[in-house]
Amino acid sequence: MKHIWLFFLFVFLGLTAQPQFNTKPGETEIYILTCSPGADLYSVFGHAAIVVKTPTSDFVYNYGTFNFDTENFYLKFAKGQLPYKVDKEKFGYFQYGYIVEQRQIWAQKLNFTELQKEKLIALLETNVLPENAQYKYDFFYDNCATRLIDIVDEATGNTIDWKTTESGNGHTFREMIGVYLTQMQWSDLGIDLALGMPCDYELKEGEQAFLPDSLKSIFQQAMLNGNTLVADGFEVLPAEKKKVNNKLVDETSSVLWIISIVLLAVLIFYRRKTQSRILSAVILFINGLLGALIFFLWFCTDHSATAGNLNILWASPLNLILPFIKFSRKIWLQIYSGIVVITLMSWTFLAQDLNESLLPVILVSLYSALIYIRRIDE
């Protein structure tokens, strides 16, 4: 019973709590909201939105929403074709989720003239119209954070100096998202496996804005007509300080090395027996499944970040058809083994930063191919 009352108390607080916005009576103010990272993968990179505070209302415009009832939802999500949309809601509803998850909300008050405020509000209201609300989401180039820069810039006639020339600091997309995944090593590995070469070039001016934390810094540095774009910044909702569990051991690497050593030991022990061929065929089939996933993300989706994925050099979809070919089986395995050896030799020179935790998996795949070739010759 106690938990039920606590739940309703949280709901009440979320819907009725008034944000501590520094708004003068009779004035309309606009704030950029930056929300701290959450504990789940979908929220680990944080969130951003924009709020318009008037004397009688406070509405949030949120570009990070989508409809679960969309036809073929999961297929469209996997293919990068799920439409996202901007949603308008009262701040209390928006804030409630962050109260429950104990995440911070930081507000930055924009140093706008009344004319600029009116222009921005008109643009936001146009965006939320049903015929305009949806857009094609891209995690790196068109998301809840980048949309805020675009619309704020448009409201000022593109007169903002964003001061982003040095903001990238030579980092890549892969490096920037990796910072947020230190406590999610398996997720980090999966994301690294899926992302291709487009994530490994140094960021160009302003491209770091895809992360809400970076967006916050960009707004803080920006200038408008000789003044700072942000007039004031403050915490609307504090976050509970959580103890970070710094892992001393690379969990993914350790587990994969242990599994790989066991598999290699079995392959070596049974190298002259049928078991080794069966096990090597299974390993190569699993390798082929990974390759098929990489191929799908590269060629069959709209995800710009999954193209040009060099993981396909060692995880080949052609290994899936290995059991069904006879005459060219040995030739293909020799070609595959050669490609893997070259990949390993040129590891540090590749245009893509491959995850080092995958090394034992690659070695097992290579040895399985060599065992398979040997068994064909016998």
pLDDT reading at 3 higher than 50: no
pLDDT of residue 75: 87
Instruction: Give Dmax (Cα) for the chain.
Output: 88
243 belongs to a structural domain: no
Q: What is the mean pLDDT of the chain?
A: 89
Domain extent for 368: 251-377
pLDDT reading at 133 higher than 70: yes
Instruction: Note the pLDDT tens digit of each residue in 30-88.
Output: 999 999 999 999 899 999 999 999 988 999 999 999 888 888 888 888 899 999 999 99
pLDDT reading at 13 higher than 70: no
75 belongs to a structural domain: yes
Q: Are residues 327 and 214 in the same domain?
A: no
Q: How far apart are CA 97 and CA 95, in angstroms?
A: 6
Q: Are residues 232 and 262 in the same domain?
A: no
Q: Are residues 275 and 317 in the same domain?
A: yes
73 touches 62 (CB < 8 A): no
189 belongs to a structural domain: no
Contacts of 342 (CB under 8 A, 6+ apart): none
Q: Are residues 153 and 299 in the same domain?
A: no
190 belongs to a structural domain: no
pLDDT of residue 245: 62
pLDDT of residue 11: 47
Q: Are residues 233 and 328 in the same domain?
A: no
Q: Are residues 16 and 146 in the same domain?
A: yes
pLDDT reading at 134 higher than 50: yes
pLDDT reading at 5 higher than 50: no
Our count of domains for the chain comes to 2
244 belongs to a structural domain: no
365 touches 280 (CB < 8 A): no
174 belongs to a structural domain: no
179 belongs to a structural domain: no
Residue 9 confidence class, pLDDT cut points 50, 70, 90: very low
Name the domain boundary from 192, 212, 237.
Answer: 237
Instruction: Note the pLDDT tens digit of each residue in 226-259.
Output: 999 999 999 999 987 766 566 656 889 999 999 9
Q: Are residues 72 and 102 in the same domain?
A: yes
Instruction: Note the pLDDT tens digit of each residue in 183-229.
Output: 999 999 999 999 999 999 999 988 999 999 999 999 999 999 999 99
Coil vs helix vs strand at 196: coil
pLDDT reading at 153 higher than 80: yes
Question: What percent of the chain has pLDDT above 90?
Answer: 74
Q: Are residues 299 and 219 in the same domain?
A: no
pLDDT of residue 158: 95
pLDDT of residue 311: 98
Residue 335 confidence class, pLDDT cut points 50, 70, 90: very high
Q: Are residues 6 and 105 in the same domain?
A: yes
Q: Find the mean pLDDT for residues 302-308.
A: 95
355 belongs to a structural domain: yes
Q: What is the pTM of this model?
A: 0.88
Question: What percent of the chain has pLDDT above 70?
Answer: 89
The token duo for 269 is 């022990």
Q: Find the mean pLDDT for residues 261-285.
A: 89
Q: Find the mean pLDDT for residues 120-147.
A: 96
pLDDT reading at 7 higher than 50: no
Q: Are residues 227 and 274 in the same domain?
A: no
pLDDT of residue 26: 62
Q: Are residues 74 and 218 in the same domain?
A: yes
More confident residue, 52 or 18: 52
Long-range residue pairs from 11-15, CB within 8 A, at least 24 positions apart, any chain? 11/96, 13/96, 13/99, 14/92, 14/93, 14/95, 14/96, 14/97, 14/99, 14/100, 15/90, 15/92, 15/93, 15/96
Q: Are residues 210 and 268 in the same domain?
A: no
CATH of residue 232's domain is: 3.90.1720
Residue 348 confidence class, pLDDT cut points 50, 70, 90: very high
More confident residue, 378 or 286: 286
Mode of pairing for the β-strands spanning 160-161 and 227-228: unpaired
